[in-house]
Amino acid sequence: MRVFSSAVQTLIDSGNIEYFFLITLEFTNTYRMTSYRSNLIYDGDTYIADGGLFEIDEPKFSSVVDREAYRIVIAEDLDEMSAEFEANVVGKPIDVKVGFVDTNGQPLLNVDDVVSIYKGNADSPSITNNWEEKLAVIEGTSPMADLDAVNVRYTSKDGMDQINTNDTSFDEIYGGREITFKWGKV
């Protein structure tokens, strides 16, 4: 169960919730953006309000381990993200946090008041251009992205002899046979 600070819990209990995102992209350069209406300083770092943040996925809760993708869309004007994508951002860290605005309209920026909602890696960067707007789309996946990976291993009766001639673990392997292994909770 996630525990919130007393200030955030009070806002949640009131039902009057206003929030903003704090996004860190650690590419060749580090980009810090916020969806708040002005620049914010959080944990010693400045998050830029006019950094081109266009769209971001809402937080999703999942009861199963999956590789749900997370999308961040940046309005791309200066081709800076294009250059980053060409330099290969795949596998680079993405961190998304959500902060809350108190009843006086001030952002709560104590470390205890800000909640981490996504931490993963860049996976499918792309640039879209529909003649009216140019957008950089960054799709991030979680460390669980490898759940869909398929690995193939071919074995033979003499296969283990290349590693250890005394090992007899492959002695009962005859011909070609495909076996699917299930792992985890079955």
Domain boundaries, the chain: 6-148
* pLDDT at residue 5 greater than cutoff 90: no
* pLDDT at residue 179 greater than cutoff 80: no
pLDDT at 31: 93
For residue 120, the 8-state DSSP code is E
Let me know: does 105 contact 137? Beta carbons within 8 Å: no
pLDDT at 15: 84
The C-alpha angle 102, 106, 107, rounded to 5 degrees, equals 80
Q: What is the mean pLDDT of residues 163-186?
A: 70
Query: What's the first-to-final CA gap in the chain, in angstroms?
Result: 25
pTM of the full structure: 0.71
List pLDDT tens digits, range 102-158.
Answer: 988 899 999 999 999 888 889 888 888 877 788 888 988 755 555 656 666 666 767
* pLDDT at residue 45 greater than cutoff 90: yes
Do strands 115-122 and 93-101 pair parallel, antiparallel, or not at all (unpaired)? Answer: antiparallel
pLDDT at 1: 61
Burial 40-77 (b: 16+ CB within 10 A, else e): bebeeeebeeebbbeebbeeeeeeeeeebebebbbebe
For residue 58, the 8-state DSSP code is P
3 vs 17, more confident: 17
15: left (phi over 0), alpha (psi -120 to 50) or beta: left
What average pLDDT is seen over the chain? 81
Helix (H, G, I), strand (E, B) or coil at 154: coil
Task: State how far the Cα of 142 lies from the Cα of 68, in Å rounded to an integer.
Answer: 7
Let me know: does 134 contact 140? Beta carbons within 8 Å: no
Encoding tokens for residue 178?
A: 């495909």
Q: If you average pLDDT over each of 17-21, 48-52, 56-60, 164-168, which comes out highest?
A: 17-21
Let me know: does 91 contact 122? Beta carbons within 8 Å: yes
pLDDT confidence bin for 65, thresholds 50/70/90: low
